[in-house]
Structure 1
Amino acid sequence: MQDSSLKSKTEVDILKEAALNNNIFPNTLYKILQSAKIDHYSENGSSAKRRQRIKEEIIQYSKEKKILSDDSALKLQVQAVDFIELKLNNYKTYYGKQTLNFKMPVQSEENIILVGGMNGAGKTTILKALRVLLYGKRNMTDLEYKEQFANTINNRFFSEGGRESSAELTLSVDSDYTHTIKLVWQYDNAKRMISETRTLIKRRNGSVRPISNNIITNNNLDTFNRLIDGWLPLESSPYFIFDGEEISTLVASRNSTKFKDAINRMIGLMFYDNLKSDIDFIVKDYERSLAKMADSAKVNHINKMVGALKTELKEAEEKLERVDMYLSGRNTKLSDLRKQRNDILMKNRDTRDVIVKEISQLEERLKNEKNNLNTLYKKNIIPTILKDKINLLSKRLNEEQLAQEKVIRSTAALKPYEEFMNQLLAKPLSPALTEQQLVQIQELGKTIWMEDHNISKIEEVEVLHDITNDTKKMLSNLASNAKADQIKNVIRNISKYENDLKNLNRRVSLAPSAVDASEIEREIEVLNRDVGDKEKTRRVRRNKVNQIKEELTKLMHELRRLGENIESDSELQKKYDFSKRVQNAVNHYTEQVLNWKVALISFEFKEMLSALFRKQNEFGNAYFDEKSMCIRIKNEAGTEIPIEERSAGEKQIISSAFIWAMTKASDLDLPVVIDTPLGRLDSHHRNNLITHFYRKLSKQVVILSTDTEITKEYMELMEQNTAKQLMLDYNEQEKYTVIREGYFEFTKGVS
């Protein structure tokens, strides 16, 4: 696209061309684009909601007959964001509550807020605070984040006992609401950060009470990040929050994926892709509805099939019912025959043959029990009879043995006492003690000795037996051979069997002969075969009924599917035709506007590069390559100039020119915050940057500058273009910064 056509053609021209070429009123296409753009950047812009709203608008606008009389009303809006204020509370060098007011004065044509500060006063702190408030740890490792924000509390405040610092940014995305992002850090006594709390507060303009106040956790962090990216995309952040001395790295990374993603986001490629995808979905949805309408013949055919199947189902169910009735009768008769057979078999249990057989079996069991009793009697009768006596004897032997063991232990324990008393009483006493006194002394001493040595008094047990251990073992084995219970059981069985035999012998003479049930058995067998055959017939007929029902169910589902959301042919066709025209118009518009934006980037890049550079005519051609999504510069001979090999100052100028080009082609109207933008530049490049770049870059440009950047000419230019001047006043003695209005006072009269 030629430079002349870029100057004459606008995005509105492209919109009108796309609309009129597809028989759509330009204001209709404009409204659809604007509504879609609002939804794309809104908090609640899910794909389903976006598509539904676009579809509703297509239905509404398909009936619209008016056209805007004033083409100027077709001004395509962009996503606009304003910074309102940044509050720092005991954060880094800022002691107490310090506020940086970004709000532009009403009806001010100046767009620059100038913030001055000596090195170390906290300019970079402001830049980093904005980044961490908006993006948190994104694009940073955990270690980088920890190192960068581990010590956010002001040193003086900490020494006074404070353990909390905070930062909060208030911004405006539209004219009705403000959003405040707040970060609070808590510290322990070792100055280690122990918690970090992020909050998002939404207020209606002019209201103190918030509409919502949400703490951001891992559960809703993705939602928060998507919201921020809708306002201030992370990929675009290098274009509006940057260090002026470091933006030279921007062009150095021009081949990176991040660089290209940022360009895509800045020129609205993601919005256009979503818009086309949404309208494609709507068109296909109408096509599906039309396909349903076109299937009316198919519906009639299915209805006929349903009628035929219902008739067939009725006949199949009648046949199934007849076989069920037949089987019911056969099963009833079969049940009666089985009952008759069972009654006969029950009676045959008391016939003569059965009783004789039982007598024979019982006599055999009686014989076995008598043999068993004889064996038990011979082997176990003595121990069985003497069992109680043997147990008493064993118990007495154990008691005698225990008593003897206690006597032995007691005698051994008293032996030292006996020896002591024998020696004591052997000594001559005067006057001599009587024999009774000597016995008393010996017994009293024995009692005291036993108490002192915990020796129990032994109850005397008379030892009546003197037997060996083998004899004791023999007695134990003999007791274990007692079979009293077993012998009793055998005797009871013998008595029972003998009694049963007497009864059976009395019955056998009176018992009838057995009844023959073979005829009933043959009849049952015939009925079983008949029922089996009919069961097979019933399964076949049941399967037929189920098959017909399954086919009917499928056909009814198909009828319901074809009958859903049926509209009149003409109305549906009208909506489809209009949505198809909108689709073609959007495709035409997005293709043309993207080509126009790429050309615009190249044009603005080249123009700004020429305005900023001191060395005129050094670059033969500077442009944006759409295929590689990369900026390129060639000399007059057509050879590409390696940007990476230019000086730091030149790369800064090239990056600034590209930022300028991107903002002019962008769908985003963002505030710009720049730290130390002029430090590496000579006076010529400084003047060009201020005059041509910052004055027109954005409606809100915040410049953080040091005293080393200031000259008399710089001050004059700044006074002409600044809406507000603030100073980061650093107290060397107290080691903290406060924010005040004004600028470097010592610069008055600098040359």
Structure 2
Amino acid sequence: MIFTELVLENFGPYAGKNIINLRPETEDNHRPIILIGGMNGGGKTTLMDAIRLALYGQRAQCSTRNNLSYTDFLLQAINNQATFKDITRIELAFEHIVDDQWQTFRISRQWTNNPKDGKDTLGILNGEWPDTALANTWDEYIETLLPLGISNLFLFDGEQVKELAEQDTPPQSVIDAIQSLLGLELVERLAVDLEVLVSRKRKALANKSQLKNLEEIEGKLNHYNQEEADAKQAQASLQTQLKRAQNKFKEASEKFRIEGGKIAAEKSNLDQQIEILKNTINAEKQVMIELASNTLPLSLISPLLTQAKSQIDTELQLQQAELARTILEQRDQRLLSYLETLKLTQDKFSKIQSFLKQEYDNLNQDNTLNNKTWFGISEEELKQLVNLLDHQLPLQLALAQKSTKTLQQLEGELDSKEREVNVAASPEDYQKLTDTLTLAQQEVGQCQSAYQVGEQRLKDAQKAIEKIKKELRNYSEEAIDKQNNEHLIKSAAKVQNTLQLFKERLTLKKLNKLEGEVTECFRYLLHKSDLVHRVVIDTYNFSLSLYDPNGKSVPKHRLSAGEKQLLAIAFLWGLARVSGRNLPIAIDTPLGRLDSSHRNNLVERYFPTASHQVILLSTDTEITQKELQQLQEQDAIAHQYLLEYNSAQRQTTVHPNRYFW
């Protein structure tokens, strides 16, 4: 099967008629990849929805449908610029082998603002001719080509891969798709058909009383079968509600944190810390006041005090010199008196007297060079000044500097704490944040309780079904034991047992092959090929277990987010290879959370070989210029398109032969 063309007319953001060539070839050279680039919200997912809608119509699992009725969904999908008379149309052309020959089909769905019977109008071209009979049985026919149950394994987006990677056990929808893809549902269908056959035989063989009992039992069985179907449907809806409530609670928690709720919750602690800081700062300021009330202010005139010390030294020297001069003068007077008693000649006496006078004059001259006296303090007072300059002031300056540094640090911490208080939510806003968070938490609790109740309802219905089936088998053995067709009923029971054994062995065989394919694909995509040696798939719930080369289990939580995503992709790739179905693959948001090495492996190894036709819907941050060049060097790209969205007009324009670069 090959998609060859997609036509969108007034669908979603696509105004007018838009034609996209999907044929995986150029100039008769096969190139598997059709690359479609667009920013988020630009219409990539709408293209994927268009393919699904064309194939499955009312049954399509489109991203924007949610709980809308099909009529409301069709009306919602009409382009906002379309007039009341304009037609909205989707066409998907594809080729498929019929009787060993390629045959072209074109699916056309169209509707207006007033769709007929609330539905679209379906038309099928088989070759060049309309095929009304095929259009009437299209739902059955498409199930033979690309069954709806497995479509999400071939038409998937990054979010599906992300969810599949993060869950330990695949969801029930994926399990059903895997069973369908591996052909396991055929055994289940045969078992159901045998039940129908046995039921008919029981009715044919039973008397009126037995028939009435059988009908009552089968009525109960039908009731509980319906109950089981309703419970499954309700459980799926409850799971969606639970997930939505969990996301809402996550958003409320994030908003509570970002908008200051956490700080507001700790406000009392912050206020206490601020009060302690203020008291510490006041105590430190008191220390500085005490320092300032002592001799510390004298440090402001320390140069003058040093000069004063020098002047005082000089003055003390003058005092000492004056004292010495007085002593010498008294000694000279005694000397002269003594010399007079020696009766020296007048000439010698005069010379001695002249000498002493000259010495005295010289001494007076030295003392009068700097004989200004300003302070007149004692030597003991000088010692006190020296002690002040050399010891007291340096010590008090060191204490003041330490106290100043401590005070600056404390004031910085106080400023930081006060800013934290300022950004905290007000009491009113804090109460709103708290109420929102509490309501979201209550909603999660209610949804979890409802989900558990729904789960119990489903288990009860399944248990009741098993009990009634056992009652039917017992009734068959007890009430119709002697009828002619007893052999058929017993044989059917044996066949069912054989079918169960066959299903188990077939499942084991298929899963063994699938394990090999998934292991090969995962190791091929990983850049750390020695991380995982073998992938094992559980036969009951299809969960994956990983083992290293030594046979030891590798917990999934040891894998990075990117490695988990590669494991999910390898799982889908292995399924496609084991199924043997030659189907196109379309991937929306293909490289969501992968690092550069994993991106490189996916671009080089997966995209060009995943299928004969690979449609990639990417943003500019996924298939970047580097990845584009890699794919071009491999001659893997057949066509490329750029979806350019005009937010003012809410329209998307399709530019062929273009990408972001």
TM-score range, shorter chain: 0.3 to 0.5
Q: TM-score, normalised by structure 1?
A: 0.41
Q: TM-score, normalised by structure 2?
A: 0.46
Based on CA coordinates, which of the two structures has the bigger radius of gyration? 1
